Structure 1
């Protein structure tokens, strides 16, 4: 969703860069060759992943008509903004988001409906749902594909003034902060407004206003729907984030035809790292009004007709290549190596390439109050009494903190912890052991980080438990 506002929080320390960046700036293509015709307005299951691709998330939105979304996959974002975040979702939109099935429901034919409504007093409501998972990113050396088959609200002309449907992603560090946009990255896979037969794809990053990513506009491109208009039929919108090439790139396509590409060398190394060295979560919503519709004539107004739904047939996330896939959910062996970047949830951290033995990625920028969540860790019947973690720190003299293990809830007392300070550098790794209380069975594991200072104090590459 373009035009998010708020003062970005600066990066707490410079991030290591995966590779040297080229200095040239690539030219952006803003229009595409003709796309293939869209399929009729009917539900279809998510396609079987092509050879070489792994499906890591899917929702076909099958269920009884009038029911809500599957809350094991999605959470509702409600109100006029995130608690403590910018008003009006940071974009100037005017609706109130709700979890009511009047605004968000399944249609009984395999589609999700997000429907703006206007009451007798002129107040607008609509819907916004976000994936619970915030760990979607390419495996090291591989590619992430996020796609959805969508029909934007079937309304055009004056009746469509102010409509703003979108399928997009935000960087995981935005959750719980809400003031670090656009530094943490935003990937708009599809935006549409005013009932026009034009869709936009954009990457937001850097600082706002202006900065290396031309905020609040971002680095964007657009194209038109062919065969049927964007409003009259379903089309497939896709983002592929490719780490397999020397210069990382993010490609956006409509019905299989790439129309916009953003490359790593279009911005400085720190901007790209801050925007991409972490997971993302997926968002579906229909806003009313705000900065994007304002750029195309404004609205909504008295002539805008409520009740036109964005229909979503499916959303799926795939990965290919690389040495790892996005994190599993549950079924983890406590006595195996638990990679820190395979978290199911987090707050305040980022991931980055590591020089530690075996390579891959570590979790970094860890400071007081940050946490990692790992679901379904199986300790078995024999009590685990030991914990060890692979950590590194380049913290300043006198800066240190605790790495704590908590079970099932971050509010529970730690079952074990150890202190860590400077190890000689942010990529100077050592394995630190600690004792824990006897643990059996299967638990969610929370690593929490506590320090008397606000500065970053530790990186974590992996951890494990022992008897």
Structure 2
């Protein structure tokens, strides 16, 4: 979700006192190559219990930085990464375990590995698909403070340079912090801080794990990098469901070219502490591993016309939200291009912001009942420059469906100067997935949103 400067080959292994923990997870093989795709590379992690990774496929990142690179991996994390099988090991049940450990002195060790291969990119006019099945460290609440598991990719030009982030591109396929039931997918690019990609935050989206939480069970995380469409596109999926998209035209052509016109390598790690999760406390539990069932890479050739990767039919919404109560904007179930910040609006809390053309948030299971809703109201603020404005649109069940209502908003006097704006909608009954989509004729941010509600 932010800067993730990669790892180092500084010598040293810290001894740990705990032996490998045997995972209680069922073996699941790398999936069969999907129809229309070809297999590029994979690892099924079927090594004997207690053994390390295959070093013909993986590099251990040792220490706290690349040689000469930013300290603490550029993120402020505090663990020393080792190649010890106390930290990185096969569990004997078909999984790789990456386990952070705290010693008697309070120092942390953990593991971070990256692929030997650094040429992962779509063929010209084709699509690259990178996927892993992962169970987060099964720890939550205060016991999880400082845990930061991730599955991600860095642009190959980073190797040997270590100071050209974020221009060379970073694709965070999955990140999680502090044991919350939520995952983030992000593209980092451009310059830092700020720049066209809003660094160090990046162009990110998030969603929650359903069925079991991200920590209590395995889930599948995937990114598809698509050069077969114009503009080029990256799409993030959780358990096969799309939750975030970045289009090349969200940034200037040079930024996109610098971030994507080369190969990438894949990284798995569990960081401890750092700028995003904050550092561990005395309540943080040691020794809870991230389990990785497989990592696989497929590609689809340019010019082919295979069946597109399906998005599963969503489960009918259960009506868990009342359309006529206040729906806090930051309580979304998924989003694209949206960030959250503390608000100064009455009542406090948070608002969503940095909203620009094409951004959206999704609210699942909104129940309108049998009496039709005919309007909606949103609490908005804008510090947009003169001449920059846009629409706040309501769409049902599909982010690309026709809007059922909208209102226009321009500068309200500042990004925390709030006003309540009503808009009419077509009559709605029943239970729906509700999207707020933000549409503008300019690429600039034009609105923040604190909450919304519907009216009969």
The bucket for the TM-score relative to the shorter chain is: 0.5 to 0.7
Q: Which moved more, 1:314-323 or 1:233-242?
A: 314-323
Aligned to 2:2: 2
Residue of 199, 206, 210 corresponding to 1:215: 199
Shift of 1:5: 6.5
Aligned to 2:188: 204
* Distance in 1 between residues matched to 2:35 and 2:279, nearest whole Å: 45
Task: Indicate conservation of the 8 Å contact 1:237/1:253, yes or no.
Answer: yes
5 Å-filtered alignment, 1:393-432, equals none
**Which aligned runs of 4 or more in structure 1 are off by greater than 3 angstroms?**
none
Q: What is the TM-score when the length of structure 2 is the normalising length?
A: 0.62
* Distance in 2 between residues matched to 1:195 and 1:246, nearest whole Å: 37
* Distance in 1 between residues matched to 2:230 and 2:205, nearest whole Å: 23
* Distance in 1 between residues matched to 2:256 and 2:146, nearest whole Å: 32
Give the aligned length: 287
Aligned to 1:321: 301
* Distance in 1 between residues matched to 2:204 and 2:213, nearest whole Å: 21
Task: Indicate conservation of the 8 Å contact 2:48/2:92, yes or no.
Answer: yes
Aligned to 2:39: 55
* Distance in 2 between residues matched to 1:59 and 1:323, nearest whole Å: 28
Q: Which runs of 5+ in 1 are unaligned?
A: 7-39, 325-467
Aligned to 1:138: 122
Q: What is the TM-score when the length of structure 1 is the normalising length?
A: 0.60
* Distance in 2 between residues matched to 1:208 and 1:3, nearest whole Å: 9
5 Å-filtered alignment, 1:174-323, equals 174-293=158-277, 298-322=278-302
Q: Which moved more, 1:41-50 or 1:251-260?
A: 41-50
Residue of 119, 127, 130 corresponding to 2:111: 127
* Distance in 2 between residues matched to 1:229 and 1:291, nearest whole Å: 24
* Distance in 2 between residues matched to 1:270 and 1:175, nearest whole Å: 21
Shift of 1:321: 1.9
Q: Over residues 211-245 of structure 1, what are the superposed CA-to-partner deviations in whole Å (9 max), with x where a residue is unaligned?
A: 00000000000000000000000000000000001
Residue of 156, 165, 172 corresponding to 1:172: 156
Q: Over residues 19-76 of structure 1, what are the superposed CA-to-partner deviations in whole Å (9 max), with x where a residue is unaligned?
A: xxxxxxxxxxxxxxxxxxxxx9422001011111111101000011000001111010
* Distance in 2 between residues matched to 1:2 and 1:151, nearest whole Å: 22
Shift of 1:89: 0.3
> SS state of the match for residue 221, structure 1?
strand
Q: CA RMSD in A?
A: 1.4
2:99 maps to 1:99: no
> SS state of the match for residue 143, structure 2?
helix
Task: Indicate conservation of the 8 Å contact 1:167/1:284, yes or no.
Answer: yes
* Distance in 2 between residues matched to 1:299 and 1:149, nearest whole Å: 27
Q: Over residues 264-299 of structure 1, what are the superposed CA-to-partner deviations in whole Å (9 max), with x where a residue is unaligned?
A: 000000000000000000000000001121xxxx22
* Distance in 2 between residues matched to 1:237 and 1:124, nearest whole Å: 27
Q: Which runs of 5+ in 2 are unaligned?
A: 7-23, 305-456
